[in-house]
Amino acid sequence: MTRPKNISDEEWRKRKREANKKYRESRTEEQTEERKEYQRAYGREWRANLSEEQKERQLEKKRMWRRNRTKEQKKHIYLREQRWRENLPEERKAANRIRKNARQKLIRKPMTPEQKVAKRAYDLAYMALLTDEQWVERTARGRARDKIGVDNLHDRYIKNLLRGVGFVNPPPELIELKRVQLKIRRYLNQGEQT
């Protein structure tokens, strides 16, 4: 359906958004799941049939989109991904943590002394150029990230706890065991407070 001439573009887009929203809200859960499954299957089939040039073009589009994102877009995407991760089942979270740690160990190479010196000099120069507002924002962001790590018992927080009692490089099994212990302790503390 084309836009009537007596309606502006903005008004037409608004009407279409409202109509789409009304349609999405009217669907049952089964219809929504069917639609999602159809879209996933279509996406899998489409990606499987891409040529190498098309794959490279898609990757370049993604890179360009990531480069051109605004701060608001980055924040929105980060929050959306955080919500998605928090709603994952515990088994999936544990599997993702193990996979991520293994991938980082494969990718990460130890820095040479020259690289360490260069990185330290770069960090000091970068910190010297920060304004007071940027420094406050950076500190608040770090504290918020640390709080999320403490609340959700992230690996980094648990590793710091274990390092405090003498484990320099704790294995994943010990980290998972400590996470379970902390969850039990928090649960018991909540029971005592109520």
100, part of any domain: no
34 has a pLDDT exceeding 70: yes
The average pLDDT across 146-153 equals 85
Tell me whether residue 32 is in a domain: no
Task: Count how many domains the chain has.
Answer: 2
Residue with tokens 């929050």: 79
Whether pLDDT at 21 is above 90? no
Mean pLDDT of 112-123: 91
Tell me, yes or no, whether 3 lies in a domain.
no
- Phi, psi at residue 68, to the nearest 5°? -95, 10
Residue 191 lies in a domain: yes
The answer to whether residue 194 scores a pLDDT higher than 60 is: no
Task: Tell me, yes or no, whether 116 lies in a domain.
Answer: yes
H helix or E strand, kind and range, residue 71? helix 71-86
Same domain, 187 and 174: yes
Q: Is residue 125 located within the same domain as residue 162?
A: no
Residue 112 DSSP SS3: coil
Range of the domain at 137: 110-150
Q: In angstroms, rounded to a whole number, what is the distance separating the alpha carbons of residues 74 and 66?
A: 9
Residues 142 and 77: their CA atoms lie apart, in Å, by 18
pTM: 0.37
Domain-embedded: residue 47: no
* Any domain includes 10: no
Q: pLDDT tens for residues 48-77? A: 898 999 989 988 998 898 888 888 888 999
Q: Do the domain assignments include residue 165?
A: yes
pLDDT range class, residue 12, cuts 50, 70, 90: confident
Coil, strand or helix at 108: coil
Task: Decide if pLDDT at 165 tops 70.
Answer: yes
Q: How many CA atoms lie within 13 A of 31 on its CB side?
A: 6
Judged against a pLDDT cut of 60, whether residue 29 lies above it is answered with yes
Q: How many helices (H) and strands (E) does the chain have?
A: 9, 0
- Indicate if 145 and 159 belong to the same structural domain: no
What's the pLDDT band for 117 if we cut at 50, 70, 90?
A: very high
What pLDDT band is residue 193 in, cutting at 50, 70 and 90?
low
The one-letter code for the residue type at 36 is K
pLDDT of residue 164: 84
